[in-house]
């Protein structure tokens, strides 16, 4: 064997043999890199429950539990000098296999990576016993202090939106609650526990931790996996059948297809996004949901001639849900499992980024307000930061009033409103709290044209 080929083989990483463990190690590699570098990356859920992932439920569970136990696993791997056994063993593969060996279902595969970890088993178990004795606890999970967010995530109901273009809410509930052969008995038992949301009639709530990704109604796009908070902007816009509606920053399209469903598929939904890959996903979602009234194309929204082009002459509703910090989705993204979560990043620590986002958000809202026939505009974010929410409304409100708009008050019965010290009319704004409301942290404002205008 040549020297170069031998060196190449020695540098080649040793992956886990089992499919689930390989996928979990890959997901952990991505999220830990993004977390350590402060870069934006895919969420734990998207990395473990995406279309290309096999055995989704098991991969998601192993990934989450490995990250949950990571402080303990890291110490075990370090003390047992596991990484020194073979430099080709990646730390993420070692983390996953140590979890499986000590806390999971054991190592069922016997590939090179598994054999390495098994060879270190005595040292790993000895160090674990020492850690338990020092802490005075009997179980390794007692070494991990559960955060309030982690506990809240486990209590949060699972939500899904009924795609009323394909199925009514009543039909969905009947389907869920009716056994359809022995293979569907468990689905029927699950359906007995589903409830209809009191605020949003097309949103169904399932017990916490319910796994719906392989559910037949999800696979055929009759049910859309979407948080309750994410469903609020389309309802707040109140688009009517036959309207022309514009979605400014549309991809990946859950809100876009929701608009189409509320319009009963009648009229036009003009959807724009400047990212071709994301827009491709939007088009696929529109086709799967039967939202034929959606016209989607790649475009920088700020460059569209809204005030002068005949294409936008009859647009009466606009949804502006631009890029934001995503600070309200930490529970959905499972970010509390990441090492940086303990640092409790404050808005000040990422102030420059938030300021750039807020200025972009202001520009998008102001541009959308130039639509000549616009009657109603919803501005929404999945952020909890005042600068991206009330401060954006305060910045655009003077110009909105000049153009004949005022703040409307959606969801009159909803108790959580805007920050009163931040903007005039804060009681007309809507906020959701990720822990207390059992959904993502969201913000929305509705600009409505005055009747005399």
Q: Which of 145, 178, 211 is at the close of a domain?
A: 145
Domain co-membership, 312 together with 274: yes
Domain co-membership, 322 together with 392: yes
- 231 as an active site residue: the answer is no
Domain co-membership, 138 together with 192: no
Q: Which of 194, 225, 256 is at the close of a domain?
A: 225
Domain co-membership, 194 together with 313: no
Domain co-membership, 235 together with 95: no
Tell whether 252 is in a known binding site: yes
pLDDT tens-place string over residues 291-313: 999 999 999 999 999 999 999 99
Active-site entry in 98, 222, 231, 382:
382
Q: Is the pTM of this model over 0.85?
A: no
The pair phi, psi for residue 148, each rounded to 5°, is -60, -35
Q: What is the 3-state secondary structure (H, E, C) of 366-394?
A: HHHCCCCCCCEEEEEECCCCHHHCHHHHH
Tell whether 253 is in a known binding site: yes
Q: Which residue has the higher pLDDT, 258 or 346?
A: 258
Average pLDDT for 110-121:
89
Tell me the residue range of the domain where 160 lies.
152-225
Minimum mean pLDDT among 106-115, 155-164, 237-246: which range? 106-115
Q: Is 97 exposed, middle or buried (0-12, 13-18, 19+ CB in 10 A)?
A: buried
Query: What's the pLDDT at 403?
Result: 97
The CATH number of residue 212's host domain is: 3.30.70.1170
pLDDT tens-place string over residues 421-450: 888 999 999 999 988 898 999 999 999 999
pLDDT tens-place string over residues 353-374: 899 999 999 999 999 999 999 9
Tell whether 267 is in a known binding site: no
For the cut 50, the answer to whether the pLDDT of residue 134 exceeds it is yes
Query: What's the pLDDT at 108?
Result: 73
Domain co-membership, 117 together with 206: no
Q: Which of 90, 124, 145 is at the close of a domain?
A: 145
Average pLDDT for 105-126:
87
Query: What's the pLDDT at 182?
Result: 42
* 44 token code pair: 């734990």
- Of the candidates 369, 449, 448, which has an alpha carbon nearest to the alpha carbon of residue 408? 448
Angle, alpha carbons 26-49-117 (nearest 5°): 35
Tell whether 265 is in a known binding site: no
Mean pLDDT, the chain, whole residue set: 88
Tell whether 300 is in a known binding site: yes
Could you give the number of structural domains in the chain? 3
For the cut 50, the answer to whether the pLDDT of residue 335 exceeds it is yes
What does the DSSP assignment read for 138-204? Answer: SSGGGGSPPPHHHHHHHHSPEEEEE-TTT--HHHHHHHHHS--SGGGHHHHHHHTT-EE-SS-TTEE
Tell whether 352 is in a known binding site: no
Domain co-membership, 163 together with 54: no
The CATH number of residue 342's host domain is: 3.40.50.150
* 393 token code pair: 């409304």
């Amino acid at each position: 064997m040549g020297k170069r080929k031998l060196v190449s083989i020695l540098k080649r990483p040793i992956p886990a043999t089992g499919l689930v463990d390989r996928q979990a190690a890959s997901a952990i590699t991505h999220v830990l890199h993004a977390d350590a570098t402060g870069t934006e990356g895919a969420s734990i859920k998207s990395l473990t429950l995406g279309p290309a992932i096999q055995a989704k439920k098991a991969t998601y569970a192993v990934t989450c539990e490995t990250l949950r136990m990571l402080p303990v696993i890291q110490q075990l791997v370090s003390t047992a000098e596991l990484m020194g056994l073979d430099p080709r063993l990646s730390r993420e593969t070692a983390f996953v296999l140590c979890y499986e060996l000590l806390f999971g279902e054991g190592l069922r595969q016997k590939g090179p990576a598994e054999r390495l970890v098994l060879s270190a088993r005595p040292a790993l178990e000895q160090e674990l016993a020492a850690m338990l004795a020092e802490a005075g606890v009997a179980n390794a999970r007692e070494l991990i202090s559960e955060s309030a967010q982690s506990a809240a995530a486990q209590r949060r109901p699972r939500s899904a939106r009924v795609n009323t273009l394909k199925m009514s809410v009543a039909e969905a509930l009947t389907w869920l609650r009716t056994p359809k052969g022995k293979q569907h008995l468990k689905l029927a038992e699950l359906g007995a526990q589903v409830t209809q949301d009191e605020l949003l009639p097309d949103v169904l709530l399932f017990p916490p931790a319910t796994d719906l990704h392989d559910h037949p109604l999800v696979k055929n796009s009759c049910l859309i996996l979407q948080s309750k908070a994410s469903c609020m902007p389309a309802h707040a816009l109140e688009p009517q059948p036959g309207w022309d509606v514009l979605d400014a920053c549309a991809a990946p399209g859950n809100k876009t297809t929701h608009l189409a469903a509320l319009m009963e598929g009648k009229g036009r939904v003009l959807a724009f996004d400047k990212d071709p890959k994301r827009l491709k996903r939007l088009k696929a979602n529109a086709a799967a949901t039967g939202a034929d009234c959606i016209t989607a194309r790649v475009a920088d929204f700020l460059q569209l001639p809204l005030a002068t082009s005949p294409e936008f002459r009859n647009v009466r509703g606009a949804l502006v849900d631009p890029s934001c910090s995503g600070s309200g989705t930490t529970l959905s993204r499972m970010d509390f499992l990441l090492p940086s979560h303990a640092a409790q990043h404050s808005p000040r620590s990422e102030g420059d980024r938030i300021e750039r986002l807020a200025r972009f958000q202001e520009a998008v809202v102001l541009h959308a307000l130039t639509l000549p026939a616009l009657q109603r505009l919803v501005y929404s974010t999945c952020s909890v930061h005042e600068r991206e929410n009330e401060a954006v409304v305060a910045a655009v409100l003077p110009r909105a009033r000049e153009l004949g708009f005022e703040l409307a008050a959606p969801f009159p019965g909803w108790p959580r409103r805007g920050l009163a010290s931040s903007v005039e009319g804060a009681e007309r704004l809507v906020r959701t709290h990720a822990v207390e409301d059992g959904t993502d942290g969201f913000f929305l404002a509705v600009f409505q044209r005055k009747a005399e205008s």
